[in-house]
């Protein structure tokens, strides 16, 4: 069969005023360009799990979100879904099916709402795709009718035996950024989280040698590739993290990942992260004060417990020469209208290199969604296209939605203006140089190559 893999790429936001504002802010524009460059790792992983004898091609929906014509020559098209683009994905699926092409859908959104997706696709995958995908290909080949395939009905996916994703399918793309997974899941259970934990609750690490094998495969394609680890939380296991960094160091690759604040507890790990080419750690701080984080992480109240140490932890990480992108969620139940000023003050005081602000967002399938729905606080339930992190679709506990939006806009302008960006960047480097003078550290030299 001819199989097409369709990724819907780019970023999504609907609030017209925010879009207008974003276009004039250098911080926003910079990140959008980087984001446009990331491929769908899930689909490349499926390509590698495709039974032999089929022709597989990777496509991305164009900027106007239209599917490429060549998809209509395929026998089977696999579409990967997030909530924010789900209606675009359903429209494309409807058009393809009307033209006689079989459509399979999988990914985070349809894993939570398979019955909804089954109205638009022949085959729907719930959960991790490696084992159900070959069954779907076989079903399509037989011409089998509609069906939902659940990963939980097959053997669990063993992440210590994943093949190299088919990065070679990206050969013609002009971009330099690639994703690799080092682990799946996260031991913490934040009530808003809609990442890989939605597919499988278990936290699993891959063998370091397999991660390195994947990075080398990318480097063969693009010698100067920048690697983003597509993990929920890379450095949960500090010893394994050190092994990973030691193995990455000789490759001279530049990389970025997401992790939690506990990474700052281990000085040796920080040194290794820095010397192995890490350019930035993205960390969900969520709010400057622990009081706003009470009950957010459902297993051990992890976020609230760690907040007190945020300032020192950020200082330790950045001192090692690794920039921190601190993420804040706006609209949490314990946050009042003073939160915007507090975030700004915190970002400036801690000299965070980068800050990301998003609205509290109720993704389907999360404990947060269930709670806000039960409390009647969702403004427009089931408008999944608003699950962008940049559109307000709920009633905050201690502000009106309008206050949240106005505060968000004001903070956006303050955080992402050219002056603010330059202040943060030069602050980071001058701090590093000062430390270098005092401690003779080589971290400044390393970071200045970022």
Binding residues (CB under 6 A) for ligand B12: these are 7-13, 35, 38, 40-42, 45-46, 78, 80, 82-85, 104-109, 125, 128-130, 132-133, 136, 179, 181, 194-196, 199, 230-232, 258, 363, 387-390
- CB nearer ligand B12, residue 67 or residue 258: 258
Contact call for residues 266 and 238 (beta carbons, < 8 A): yes
Complex with ligand B12: residue 82 or 353, whichever CB lies closer: 82
The structure tokens listed for 206 are 């891959």
Residue 260 CB, nearest distance to ligand B12 (Å)? 12
Closer to ligand B12 at the Cβ: 9 or 417? 9
Minimum CB separation of residue 130 from ligand B12 in Å reads 5
Indicate the residue among 78 and 447 with the shorter CB distance to ligand B12. 78
Whether the Cβ atoms of residue 367 and residue 298 lie closer than 8 Å to each other: yes
Least gap, CB of 391 to ligand B12 (angstroms): 8
Look up tokens 């192995």; give the residue: 276
Can you name the residues that pair with 327 across neighbouring β-strands?
284, 356
Do 218 and 241 form a contact (C-beta atoms < 8 A)?
no
Nearer to ligand B12 (CB atom), residue 90 or residue 133:
133
Q: How many Å is the maximal CA-CA distance in the chain?
A: 70
* CA gap 32, 277 in Å, rounded: 23
Nearer to ligand B12, 90 or 428 (CB): 90
Q: How far is the CB of 49 from ligand B12 (least distance, A)?
A: 8
Name the β-bridge partners of 325: 282, 354
CA-only gyration radius of the chain, Å: 22
Residue 450 CA to residue 447 CA, distance in Å, equals 5
CB of 66 to ligand B12, least distance (A): 13
Distance of closest approach, residue 228 Cβ to ligand B12, in angstroms: 7
For the bound state, the minimum distance from the C-beta of residue 164 to ligand B12, rounded and expressed in Å, comes to 13
For ligand B12, give the closer residue by CB, 28 or 390.
Answer: 390
In angstroms, give the least distance from the CB of 209 to ligand B12. Answer: 19
Residue carrying structure tokens 């915190």 = 346
Distance CA 396, CA 402 (A): 10
Residue holding tokens 């496509």? Answer: 59
Q: Nearer to ligand B12 by C-beta: 132 or 296?
A: 132
Calpha distance 311→346 (Å, rounded)? 9
Encoding tokens for residue 85? 């683009």
Smallest separation (angstroms) from ligand B12 to the CB of 191: 12
The DSSP secondary structure of 211-233, one letter per residue, reads HHHHHHHHHHH-TT-EEEE--S-
Q: Are 18 and 390 a contacting pair, CB within 8 Å?
A: yes
Nearer to ligand B12, 181 or 323 (CB): 181
Q: How far apart are CA 219 and CA 253, in angstroms?
A: 9
């Amino acid at each position: 069969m001819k199989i097409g893999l369709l990724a819907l790429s780019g970023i999504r936001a609907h609030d017209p005023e925010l879009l207008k504002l974003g276009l004039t802010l250098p911080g926003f524009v910079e990140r959008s360009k980087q984001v446009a460059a990331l491929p769908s790792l899930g689909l490349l992983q499926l390509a590698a799990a495709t039974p032999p004898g089929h022709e597989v091609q990777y496509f991305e929906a164009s900027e106007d979100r239209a599917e490429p014509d060549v998809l209509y020559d395929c026998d089977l098209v696999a579409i990967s879904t997030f909530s924010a683009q789900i209606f675009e994905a359903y429209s494309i699926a409807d058009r393809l099916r009307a033209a006689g092409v079989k459509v399979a859908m999988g990914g985070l959104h349809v894993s939570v709402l398979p019955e909804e997706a089954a109205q638009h696709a022949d085959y729907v995958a719930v959960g991790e795709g490696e084992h159900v995908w070959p069954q779907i290909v076989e079903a399509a080949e037989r011409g089998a009718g509609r069906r939902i395939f659940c990963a939980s009905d097959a053997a669990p996916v063993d992440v210590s035996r994943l093949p190299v994703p088919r990065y070679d399918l990206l050969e013609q793309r002009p971009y330099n950024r690639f994703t690799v997974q080092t682990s799946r899941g996260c031991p913490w259970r934040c009530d808003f989280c809609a990442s890989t934990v939605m597919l499988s609750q278990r936290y699993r690490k891959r063998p370091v040698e397999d991660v390195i094998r994947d990075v080398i495969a990318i480097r063969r394609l693009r010698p100067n590739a920048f690697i983003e680890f597509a993990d929920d939380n890379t450095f949960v296991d500090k010893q394994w993290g050190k092994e990973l960094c030691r193995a990455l160091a000789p490759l001279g690759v530049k990389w970025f990942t997401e992790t939690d604040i506990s990474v700052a507890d281990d000085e040796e790990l920080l040194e290794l992260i820095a010397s192995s080419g890490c350019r930035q750690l993205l960390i969900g701080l969520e709010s400057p004060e622990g009081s706003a984080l009470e009950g957010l992480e459902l297993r051990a109240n992890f976020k609230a417990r760690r907040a007190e140490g945020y300032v020192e932890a950020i200082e330790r990480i950045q001192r090692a020469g690794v920039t921190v992108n601190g993420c804040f969620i706006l609209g949490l139940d314990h946050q009042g209208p003073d939160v915007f000023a507090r975030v700004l003050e915190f970002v400036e005081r801690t000299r965070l290199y980068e800050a990301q602000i998003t609205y509290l967002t109720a993704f389907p399938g999360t404990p947060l969604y269930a709670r806000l729905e039960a409390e009647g606080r969702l403004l427009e339930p089931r408008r999944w296209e608003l699950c962008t992190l940049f559109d307000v679709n709920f009633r905050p506990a201690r502000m009106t939605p309008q206050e949240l939006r106005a505060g968000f806009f004001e903070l956006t302008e303050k955080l992402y203006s050219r002056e603010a960006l330059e202040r943060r960047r030069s602050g980071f480097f001058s701090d590093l140089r000062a430390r270098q003078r005092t401690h003779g550290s080589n971290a400044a030299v390393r970071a200045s190559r970022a």
